[in-house]
Amino acid sequence: MGKREDLKVKPVKVNRRRQLAKYVFSDWLSAAMSWSLFYLFRKIYIEPQKFGYPINIELDVRFFLGLSLIPFFWLFIYYVTGYYHDVFRKSRLSELWQTIGNTFLGVIILFFTLVLDDVIGTYSNYYISFVALFTLHFVLTYVPRLIITTRTTHKVHSGEIGFNTLLIGSNEKAVDAYLELKNQARSNGNRIIGFVNVNGKPRYMLEDHLPHMGCIDDLKTIIEENHIEEVIIAIESTEHDRINRIMNKLIDTTVLIKAIPSMYDILTGRVRMSSILGTPLIQISHQLMPAWQENVKTAIDYVIATMALVITSPLTLFLMVGVKLSSRGPIFYSHERIGRYGKPFTIYKFRSMYMNAEKNGPELSSKNDDRITPFGRFMRKSRFDEIPNFFNVLKGEMSLVGPRPERKYFIDLITKVNPHYVHLLKVKPGITSWGQVKYGYAENVDQMIDRLKYDLIYIDNMSIFVDLKILIYTILTIIKRTGI
């Protein structure tokens, strides 16, 4: 086993919140300053042209109301568009264009909701106001961002900040990748702590340089125990048949995946430069939706879940009484399910079955299941038993739309037959799903596997528009009472 190098790298996980706080505070302060200066600009330049005499500058209620609310409006814009997604891997050029785009979007909204009501002398004042607000906000926002990002980039290049990285591969290509990354004039942040093998041989070339940490089957454990943030796939051309197995092991993790490109990748244009001096790598994205859509989806989840719990509160009281009177046992049913990235969570429902319904082990429900109480059958037909799922949405464990969460027992049975099920773990499970809308409830493992294809199609086509369609179909199912 090779000696592990003593790299003095500040652990990123400890400082991530602090780094995020720097950007958020800077953006909040910049938004407050730009709006204050724009208010003064309107009072000093715009309004006197209308009235023909200087206007007294008074910091009235409207000014303080705007000062307290508008910075949070801008923070919401930045959050939705994904600016705060990865605070340590920002490109200054990308940040420039993102700041321009966000500023233009926000100024358009503010202009048509607030500025258009201004008292003006000529219509040209509208154009002047627009340019003034855009310029003030962009300059005051971008300059502090540039300073923070430049300082962070310098710390990454100097090795003060680094990301725990695991090499997947063990022979010539992996050795070349390691040495090239190690000997770069400027660090790209990869703190390589070891490697895993892909072929199970007793001896590996990379052992002369790095610790051997295990094999592909150990990937998830190695990633969790060593706080791995990035993996670099550097396998030989003779080992490419193992790539699907590697990706299946990485699906339910949050690591950033990169790969050493082949000549085919370069010729087909798959390789994009992120740094002129850096090692060329292909980044394999986990992202199934654009960042802004994913953030909008999350915001919609929280808003609708909150509204649903408030609106259905009278119905909830009725259901609680109904469950209690229908049979002996608790009102709510809770059970462990597997969520995004394979993390277990507790799901909540109204109890629709008699007590000890699974005394003989895990069992799926069926259409004429005698374990279901009469009141439980009523709830299931209308999906009312799933109302407590909205609490799981508010906790961030579920989404409104996504593959239905399953128990580990059934996941293990499904993956033995169809290993593609692990792809469903890339997203949050949902209260309703495309599989449930198109196929309905599954009564056995074979039916669960049949339903799987619809959820895989959903994942490949995820969008806000698709989610809205599924929600509409679900509402129709509730109205028609066609649940089980």
Q: Name the pLDDT band for 290 (thresholds 50, 70, 90).
A: confident
Query: H/E element holding 39?
Result: helix 12-41
- Of 106 and 451, the structure prediction assigns the larger pLDDT to 106
Angle (CA) 77 78 81, round 5°: 85
C-alpha 277/C-alpha 187 separation (Å) is 10
| Total-model pTM | 0.74
Name the domain count of the chain.
3
Q: How far is CA 269 from the centre of its chain?
A: 27
Do 9 and 199 meet the contact criterion of CB atoms below 8 Å apart?
no
- Asked if residue 388 and residue 277 are part of one domain, the reply reads no
Q: Mind listing the pLDDT tens digit for each residue in 178-206?
A: 888 888 878 888 899 999 988 777 778 88
- Asked if residue 198 and residue 61 are part of one domain, the reply reads no
- Of 364 and 103, the structure prediction assigns the larger pLDDT to 103
- Asked if residue 237 and residue 379 are part of one domain, the reply reads no
Within a domain: 445: yes
- Asked if residue 277 and residue 324 are part of one domain, the reply reads no
Q: Name the pLDDT band for 273 (thresholds 50, 70, 90).
A: very low
Q: Name the pLDDT band for 77 (thresholds 50, 70, 90).
A: very high
Mean pLDDT of 277-292: 73
Q: Mind listing the pLDDT tens digit for each residue in 248-265?
A: 888 878 888 888 776 444
CATH of the domain at 241: 3.40.50.720
- Of 435 and 51, the structure prediction assigns the larger pLDDT to 435
C-alpha 366/C-alpha 151 separation (Å) is 60
Do 418 and 424 meet the contact criterion of CB atoms below 8 Å apart?
no
- Asked if residue 235 and residue 275 are part of one domain, the reply reads yes
C-alpha 435/C-alpha 441 separation (Å) is 9
Identify the domain boundary among 118, 138, 158.
Answer: 158
Within a domain: 4: no
Within a domain: 21: yes
Within a domain: 99: yes
Q: Mind listing the pLDDT tens digit for each residue in 34-69?
A: 999 998 888 888 776 666 666 677 777 888 998 999
Handedness of CA 463, 299, 403, 443 (dihedral sign): negative
Instruction: Name the pairing type of β-strands 344-350 and 332-338.
Output: antiparallel
Identify the domain boundary among 243, 265, 284.
Answer: 284
- Asked if residue 306 and residue 448 are part of one domain, the reply reads yes
Compute CA distances 281 → 28, 159, 205, whole Å: 35, 19, 21
C-alpha 285/C-alpha 256 separation (Å) is 7
Per the structure, the complete domain to which residue 196 belongs is given by: 161-284
- Specify the pLDDT at position 468: 93
- Asked if residue 306 and residue 273 are part of one domain, the reply reads no
Do 214 and 188 meet the contact criterion of CB atoms below 8 Å apart?
no
Percent above pLDDT 90 for the chain: 38
Do 229 and 165 meet the contact criterion of CB atoms below 8 Å apart?
yes
- Asked if residue 356 and residue 425 are part of one domain, the reply reads yes
* 2-16, 162-176, 251-265: which is most confident: 162-176
Q: Where are the beta strands (DSSP E) in 316-468?
A: 332-338, 344-350, 399-401, 430-432
Within a domain: 442: yes
Within a domain: 387: yes
Q: Name the pLDDT band for 272 (thresholds 50, 70, 90).
A: low
Query: 3-class DSSP state for residue 331?
Result: coil
- Of 377 and 279, the structure prediction assigns the larger pLDDT to 377
- Asked if residue 425 and residue 302 are part of one domain, the reply reads yes
Angle (CA) 13 345 432, round 5°: 115
Within a domain: 7: no
DSSP 52-102: SSPPP----HHHHHHHHHHHHHHHHHHHHTTTTS-TTS--HHHHHHHHHHH
Identify the domain boundary among 284, 308, 335.
Answer: 284
DSSP state of 403: P
Mean pLDDT of 444-450: 85
Q: Name the pLDDT band for 104 (thresholds 50, 70, 90).
A: very high
C-alpha 478/C-alpha 484 separation (Å) is 11
Angle (CA) 27 107 62, round 5°: 80
